[in-house]
Structures are given as C-alpha cells and as structure tokens.
Amino acid sequence: MKTNNFPAVVRLEYAPGDLIIKEGNFGISIYTIISGKVDIFINAGKKEVKVATQGPGDIIGGMSFLSGDTAPRTASARAIEDCVIEAWHPLIIKNEYQNIPAIFKLISGQAIKRLVRMNTIVLKFSKETAETDSTKKIPVKRKENRKYYRKKVDLEVFYQPLDNPESIKVKGRIIDISRGGLHIQVHALNAVDISHIPGDEFILNIYLTDHQELTITAVISNLDKGASKGSVRIGMSFINMTSEDKKHLGFFLIQ
C-alpha cells in the first residue's frame, strides 16, 4: 500500500509585513492562525483594498478547498504583527471530510456553496468599488448638488430593478436623503440575483413614517465599501417621482 509522504501539519512563523498568500498564485495549503493578526486584501489596479483582518482561530486560504477546484488564490494575506500559523495539507482535511455521515456532507455542502458564492460577491464588490473613479460615476450637476440639503436618517427601503418589476424586492437602510437622491446601506448578498452597478435603475419604496410611503425611480450613481463587513454603500440619484411624493419628501426634509 502506497503512503503519502507529506507532513500533516507544519507550524510557521511570520514577521510583520511578510506575505503569507499572494493573490493569483496557485496554492493548496490551508492555514490556521495560532497567534497574531493577518490582513486579507485584493489588488485593484495599483491599489490594495483590504477585505478583512483575521486573528487567532481564523482560517485563511481555504476557499480553493471549499470550492473544490485548483483556481488561483482570490486574495492575498499579509502578517501585520508577529504571527504563528499552522499550514494544513488539504488531503488530510479531505480524508476527514470523507468519513463524516452522508447527511452532514449534504448539509455542509450546501452551506459551503453559499459561503463560496458570498465570498465571490464580496470580493467583486470590493474590487469594483476600488476601480470605480469619478469619471465612471453618473454625473450630477454641481449647481443642483449644492442646493440639496442632505438629511441623515435611518429609514427602511425596499427596491427592485425597474426593468424587472416581477423580481423579489430586496431590503436596505437609508442613511441619508435629499431632494435629489440618497445613500443606502445594503448587504452584499443583495447582488446574488440582482445587478448592482452604476447606471442600474430601481423602483424604491421608501417608508418615511409608518403611514407615509414614497415610490421613487432612481439610478445607481456610485458604490462604496460598507461601514461593516459584507455590506455595501450605494449612492442613488432620483430620476422620477410624483408631485405628491416630492411634496411629502420636501416636508420630511425640513422637519
């Protein structure tokens, strides 16, 4: 019987600034952080965009194993302080995985697919945001922009694509609003089934109060990284609303 001649686990040490994983390289090892902190980042042109900071107990480099392919690494990992890390050979984990009951394989398999999909979306949003400069944003006339008072709020909003009114509405939180547009904070998973790129148009259902709902058509003007991990901040400009909704919005802004 042939045996595999590879160590099950190797313990490694990294100093601040040392690169552990490089985006685009092929690699099979899976790493567990024993001590220290690691920055996970992606490259967007000449700019590095930090995706997360991970510490003891976190696992890095596991997406290739979870997705079941040998694609290049989707992100880089760099030590930001002295780190001790264990490197695991994926065959060890695969052998352990094969021994679990079939029902647990089914449950974990579905969870893994969702995790891989969410990770792909978060990385895509992060890269698109970094690569989007002012020349790519929907232009807003300076005179119009200056005259709009922007009010900070925390309001619920549901929205759906203008070109697909039968699609499921997704939810977000409005963080500020003016007569000309708003910013909403949404979960990155909102983009699983619906496109979220500058130029996309949506129908918004905005709830100013329990008894006051506005229906407004708006277009995405820009995307920014969200305040929390896995979220996205979207800027939208209004392109159509009824005179009645304009009146209600104007009254709300001066309150």
CB atoms within 10 A of CB 139: 10
pLDDT value of position 223: 81
Summarised one tens digit per residue, pLDDT across range 221-246 is 888 766 666 788 899 999 998 988 98
**Helix/strand/coil for 205:** strand
**Helix/strand/coil for 1:** coil
pLDDT value of position 38: 93
Task: Find the CATH number of the domain harbouring 142.
Answer: 2.40.10.220
Strand order in the sheet with 38-44: 19-21, 76-79, 38-44, 47-54
Query: Could you tell me if 116 and 25 lie in one domain?
Result: yes
Query: Could you tell me if 114 and 173 lie in one domain?
Result: no
150 within some domain: yes
2 within some domain: no
Query: Could you tell me if 80 and 147 lie in one domain?
Result: no
Residue type, 128: E
Q: What angle do CA 222, 227, 229 make, to 5 degrees?
A: 105
- Quote the CA–CA distance of 119 and 74 in Å, as a whole number: 10
**Helix/strand/coil for 245:** helix
pLDDT value of position 24: 80
3 within some domain: no
Query: Could you tell me if 154 and 237 lie in one domain?
Result: yes
What DSSP character marks residue 163?
T
Query: Could you tell me if 244 and 167 lie in one domain?
Result: yes
Token code pair at residue 187: 């979960």
16 within some domain: yes
Residue type, 84: V
Closest C-alpha to 202, from 179, 232, 182:
182
pLDDT value of position 66: 58
Task: Find the CATH number of the domain harbouring 90.
Answer: 2.60.120.10
pLDDT value of position 181: 92
Query: Could you tell me if 171 and 242 lie in one domain?
Result: yes
At residue 158, what are phi and psi to the nearest 5 degrees?
-115, 140
pLDDT value of position 50: 81
Strand order in the sheet with 9-14: 9-14, 83-88, 30-35, 59-60
Token code pair at residue 99: 């021994």
Query: Could you tell me if 115 and 222 lie in one domain?
Result: no
Token code pair at residue 248: 């209600």
Calculated CA dihedral for residues 71, 128, 52, 84, nearest 10 degrees: 40
Calculated CA dihedral for residues 239, 226, 44, 160, nearest 10 degrees: -40
pLDDT value of position 141: 44
215 within some domain: yes
4 within some domain: no
Domain boundary among 131, 148, 179: 131
**Helix/strand/coil for 136:** helix
Token code pair at residue 150: 């922007």
219 within some domain: yes
**Helix/strand/coil for 121:** helix
* Residue 160, domain extent: 138-254
Domain count of the fold of the chain:
2
pLDDT value of position 208: 86
30 within some domain: yes
Query: Could you tell me if 16 and 95 lie in one domain?
Result: yes
Instruction: Name residues of the chain where pLDDT drops below 50.
Output: 1-3, 133-147
Q: Residue 1 to residues 4, 5, 95, 96: CA-CA distances in angstroms?
A: 10, 13, 16, 19
Burial class (CB in 10 A: 0-12, 13-18, 19+), 243: exposed
Report field, pTM of the whole predicted structure over 0.95: no
Answer yes or no: are the C-beta atoms of 181 and 238 closer than 8 Å: yes
